[in-house]
Amino acid sequence: MVIHQSNWIDGQEAPPTATTIPVINPATEQSLATINATSSEAVNEIITASWKTFHSGVWSKKDPSDRFTVLSKASTLLRSRINEFIALETAQTGRPIREMRTQLARVPEWLDYFASLARVHEGRVTPFKGAVTNTLTRIPLGVVVLITPYNHPLLIAMKKIAAALAAGNVVIVKPSELAPLSVLKLGALFKEAGLPDGVLQIVSGYGRETGKYLCEQPNISKIDLTGGIATYRAIAPVAAMNMVPVTAELGGKAPVCLFPSMDVETAVKAALFAGFIASGQTCVTGSRLLVHQDIYDTFKTLLEKRVRALRVGAPTDEKTQIGSVISAAAIERCESFVSRATAEGGTILCGGTKLHPTPSGKGFFFAPTIIETHSASDLANNEVFGPVLALIKCADEDEIIRVANGTAYALGASVWSNDFTQAHRVADRIEAGIVWINGHHLNDPSSPWGGFKESGLGKENGVEAYEGYTKVKSTVMNYGVKPVWFDDEVVDARYG
């Protein structure tokens, strides 16, 4: 029997809607559950209730130490139940269980970090001429809408939820309809941790419908989106009309810059890790391998050998290294990139086709793919969001930097060099919000995450994210400046 997972509204599971959406296991094509398709009328009611909850002060006026207690308890509860979430994430995303076990073990850290930040974050006293004191305090924004993706359902949702709740907001989350189940389970967990009813609302539905309804609401105070540039361009005009700020993480085309001082074996391992985690379905996938000509031929030979040896299969198998992609549409997208790459003169070194690695013959699997191509190709410039990597030979350091900076994206990049001076010189010249030296995919709650150019606006993680969920109030206290009246001959310039 297929279960139904309803919205979490005002501290309880809402009734099922008349229209439901199936959630499919992408590795088996079997139905996991159904979820609500939330209507515009229901969204209006949820926004109205959330607005009342915010202004009641039940959370927004809580002492930061009380927020600390609730978020810390939620972290403890999540750690104790993490195996349930690992199994659910594996089933709904098709990612290998070994990956999910590693990733989800760290998710409670975001609650710990932002709980602590809520407790210790301080206001400021700014310089002010004369006998005047100016204090700056940060207060919560109001009702914030979080639109989260399918590729890291729990991690990305928690990055946003933890910061928004720590700052005192009422939070409405709309997870991707492709992988919403782990996020929908958070409602009951936060309630058990002591979060007041109505402070965390979790709403399911299609992005083009429910997500759109949420983002069009004039009574919201912020939109935090992780998705594609097309989604941002659809919501940005309405957000601007309603004077609603938007934080947007919109994808990337991360270069992996490999220099001759690196051992070739290490360079190949770096490329595999950067490019094929989550079957290439991450915003910072190392999808462009920019290899210095001095190691290129040796690197290419070893890379092809290692990619062919990767174990593609059932995500629940502990030996599986590469799981499925999320849907049939993702397969078609990978195929179209491969087709265009070869039409532009690219050479497929390995992969390039869909696979049927399980006994059932079901599931959305695509072979890990390396295509030797040039920097102007479609594959080298646009996001695949699948296990299809571009291999590009570069003559020298300057060409690697030029190619690395040559796309519309600027989220992440990695520089691999054992020459300390070169590593920092190159990192300094690369245009990206995150540059790793001798690493890739490294993440921490305290480390700001976000890109430049078409990769988005604003930051997740860190003090920057917390402050992005607040507004600044300036209180100016005059304790010695003489009042100025209209009939005074000289007007004090401090009165603006």
Point out the residues that are catalytic. Answer: 249
Are 163 and 72 within 8 A, CB to CB?
Answer: no
User: Which spans in 355-418 are helix H?
Assistant: 397-404
Residue position matching structure tokens 């919000």: 433
Residue position matching structure tokens 């309803």: 6
CA separation (Å) from 3 to 31, 33, 41, 175?
9, 5, 25, 18
CA dihedral 51, 55, 57, 63 (to 10 degrees): 90
Reduced to 3 states (helix: H, G, I; strand: E, B; else coil), residue 387 is coil
Are 189 and 202 within 8 A, CB to CB?
Answer: no
- Spatial neighbors of 369 by CB under 8 A, at least 6 apart, are 307, 334, 338, 348, 350, 351, 352, 387, 388, 389
Residue 144 corresponds to which tokens in the numbers above? 């914030």
- Spatial neighbors of 486 by CB under 8 A, at least 6 apart, are none
Are 288 and 256 within 8 A, CB to CB?
Answer: yes
Reduced to 3 states (helix: H, G, I; strand: E, B; else coil), residue 493 is coil
342 φ/ψ angles, rounded to the nearest 5 degrees: -70, -35
Measure the CA–CA gap between 72 and 110, rounded to whole angstroms: 10
Measure the CA–CA gap between 78 and 104, rounded to whole angstroms: 10
Are 141 and 483 within 8 A, CB to CB?
Answer: no
Reduced to 3 states (helix: H, G, I; strand: E, B; else coil), residue 440 is coil
User: Which spans in 139-217 are helix H?
Assistant: 153-166, 181-184, 186-193, 212-215
Print burial letters for 407-428: b (CB count within 10 Å at least 16), e (below 16). bebbbbbbbbbeeeeebeebbe
432, exposed or middle or buried, with CB in 10 Å at 0-12, 13-18, 19+? Answer: buried
**Chain-centre distance of CA 209, in angstroms?**
21
Measure the CA–CA gap between 429 and 442, rounded to whole angstroms: 20
Under DSSP, the state recorded for 219 is T
Q: Taking the CA atoms of 452, 402, 229 and 416 in sequence, report the sign of the dihedral they define.
A: negative
Measure the CA–CA gap between 200 and 66, rounded to whole angstroms: 16
**DSSP secondary structure, 232-269, as one string:** HHHHHHHHHHTT--EEEE-----EEEE-TTS-HHHHHH
